[in-house]
Structure 1
Amino acid sequence: MSIAVSVAKAGLVRGRSELRHTFTNFQDLWGYVFPAGILLVVMLLQRGATVGPTGFSLGATTLPGAIGMSIAFSGLMSVAAQLITEREDGTLLRNKAIPHGMTGYMIGKIVLTIGMSVVSLLLLLIPGMIIFDGVQMGIAGAVTLVWVFVLGMAATMPIGAVIGSLFSNPTSMGFVMLPMMGLIGISGIFYPIGKFPEWLQGIAEVFPIYWLGLGMRSSMLPDSLASVEIGQSWRHLETFGVLGAWAVLGLVLAPIVLRRMARRESGSAVASRRERAISRRG
């Protein structure tokens, strides 16, 4: 067995093991169920409102956008939070000491994050399609959902790894959450942004969250709903292009930043972070 195959196999085993662990940990299960429940309640409250002149339920329109948002959160925030936490507790340093350990570690995180994202997606998709009339998904819609999901993961996970490499303790995540919430607000997750000022639309179109929401809406909603989107179109080609560009950018930057972070890991650095963590909790 070649080294590459052995490392990949170790990473897959690690990822499956961590994913199984999340299903036996109450805190992790709550992290799956609670956000999905809150989003479904919000969408139920929106069910009586309609989207512009279409007469279509705003709650049903929000469902695919919320799924796109959950993919972005999993790829960006989950990967970043895991890296920061495991830098602090010494997990990264232990993997660094193993030949090809960092490669296997990252493969495991990819498996874990994709698995978590699929669970989060299904927790919204299955009850949402039961609750909301008009949400539909044929073969073409299912294909669209799959390629948007895969490309969305590829676009967000490497950037999440870069973010996690730049911060050294979990409290720093607040600096990431604030702009993230701002982007969600302008990305059409809870209401179409076709009436927003053009400069605000332009900002939203730079980042993956808008395109993930748009791609998911195109997979689940009637074609008539494209009339309230920018350009009155689902813009599949642009969705593929922007998410693909973020994926390429992340795959170029992430290995460079991760190697630099790994070189800086040492026993003294871990000990220092542990002392700061203890002082925060104390």
Structure 2
Amino acid sequence: MTPTTVAAWAGWRRGLIELRQSFTNGQDLFGHLFWPAAMLATIYFVGDTALDAGGLLLGTMLLPSILGMNVAFNGLLTMSQLLAVEREDGTLLRAKATPNGMLGYLVGKVVTVSGTLIAGVAIVLIPGLFLVDGLALGSLSAWLTLAWVVLLGTVASLPLGAVLGSLCSSPRSLGLIMFPIMGLAAISGIFYPITSMPEWLQWIAQAFPLYWLGLGMRSALLPDAAVAIEIGESWRHLETLGVLGAWTVFGLVVAPIVLRRMARRESGSSVAERRHKALQRIA
């Protein structure tokens, strides 16, 4: 085996170990379950609200939209959070000091976050199937659409999350990332049809992956009549492929460049300086 293959294999195993630890640690498990539980509670309490689309209920529309949001949030925020935290505690520096360590480190993070993302989708989807009426998952095409949207959304969001995480000097600066993403969720048709919003907001939302992830999920899970609430009354699968594909290419091109620059700047003195600042804030 070549050194690159050894590093990638080590990263794969490390990612699986971290994933297992994450779902067997009480604090981490609470974090994995709290957000899905809150979203499911929201779906339950607003589920009987009717929309102007052939009797479609708000809860029925919310479930696939929230699934799309979970894919984006896990890919963007979890990846950026892990990079920011492990940059500050010196984990990234130790990986840099090991031959092919950065490759193994990044493979491990991709495995961990991807596993967390898929588990998050299942945690919401499985109970949601019993809570929500009117879903259309009785065909193979629906499940195939769900699969390619989750896969493409994951590949599109993970590199972007790595870029955002490399731009954060510490975990405390993650709020600068979180608030714009939350604002984007508010205008991307996640919680209410995007066609009810001003046209200029619709154009902004369509420039980012979050809207297209929600749209792709709705196209997989909702009946054909639900397309009436979408822009142009179409599921726009080709456009979904195009936009998510473009963000994937952008992330895969930019992420290695940004991560290499971040790794070059890491040193023992920079880690010590960040720790000193963190201790000063605690004191």
- Tell whether the 8 Å contact from 2:162 to 2:255 is kept in structure 1 after alignment: yes
Q: Structure 1: which 4+ aligned runs deviate by more than 3 Å?
A: none
The gaps in structure 1 that reach 5 residues or longer are none
Q: Deviations 1:108-154 (Å, cap 9, x if unpaired)?
A: 00000110001110110000011111113121111111111111111
In 2, the alpha carbon distance for the partners of 1:243 and 1:157 equals: 12
- Tell whether the 8 Å contact from 1:129 to 1:136 is kept in structure 2 after alignment: no
Q: Which amino acid aligns with 1:277?
A: A
Identity value in percent? 53
Residue 260 of structure 1: aligned partner = 261
Give matches, 1:51-130, under 5 Å.
51-130=51-130
Give matches, 1:116-155, under 5 Å.
116-137=116-137, 138-155=139-156
The gaps in structure 2 that reach 5 residues or longer are none
Deviation at 1:7, TM superposition (A): 1.7
- Tell whether the 8 Å contact from 2:53 to 2:226 is kept in structure 1 after alignment: no
In 1, the alpha carbon distance for the partners of 2:39 and 2:222 equals: 18
Deviation at 1:24, TM superposition (A): 1.3
Q: Which amino acid aligns with 1:233?
A: S
- Tell whether the 8 Å contact from 2:53 to 2:225 is kept in structure 1 after alignment: no
Deviation at 1:53, TM superposition (A): 3.7
| Structure 2 residue 183 is the aligned partner of structure 1 residue 188 | no
Give matches, 1:165-180, under 5 Å.
165-180=166-181
In 2, the alpha carbon distance for the partners of 1:281 and 1:33 equals: 29
TM-score of the superposed pair, with normalisation by structure 1: 0.98
Residue 4 of structure 1: aligned partner = 4
In 2, the alpha carbon distance for the partners of 1:133 and 1:212 equals: 21
TM-score of the superposed pair, with normalisation by structure 2: 0.98
| Structure 2 residue 30 is the aligned partner of structure 1 residue 30 | yes
Deviation at 1:86, TM superposition (A): 0.2
- Tell whether the 8 Å contact from 1:226 to 1:234 is kept in structure 2 after alignment: yes
RMSD, matched Cα: 0.8
Residue 49 of structure 2: aligned partner = 49
How many residues get paired?
Answer: 282
Deviation at 1:5, TM superposition (A): 1.9
In 1, the alpha carbon distance for the partners of 2:153 and 2:96 equals: 28
In 2, the alpha carbon distance for the partners of 1:109 and 1:242 equals: 25
CA separation of 1:248 and 1:267: change in aligned 2, threshold 3 A: same
Deviation at 1:177, TM superposition (A): 1.2
For structure 1, which segment, 2-11 or 25-34, has the greater mean C-alpha deviation from structure 2 after superposition?
2-11
- Tell whether the 8 Å contact from 1:72 to 1:152 is kept in structure 2 after alignment: yes
In 2, the alpha carbon distance for the partners of 1:268 and 1:257 equals: 21
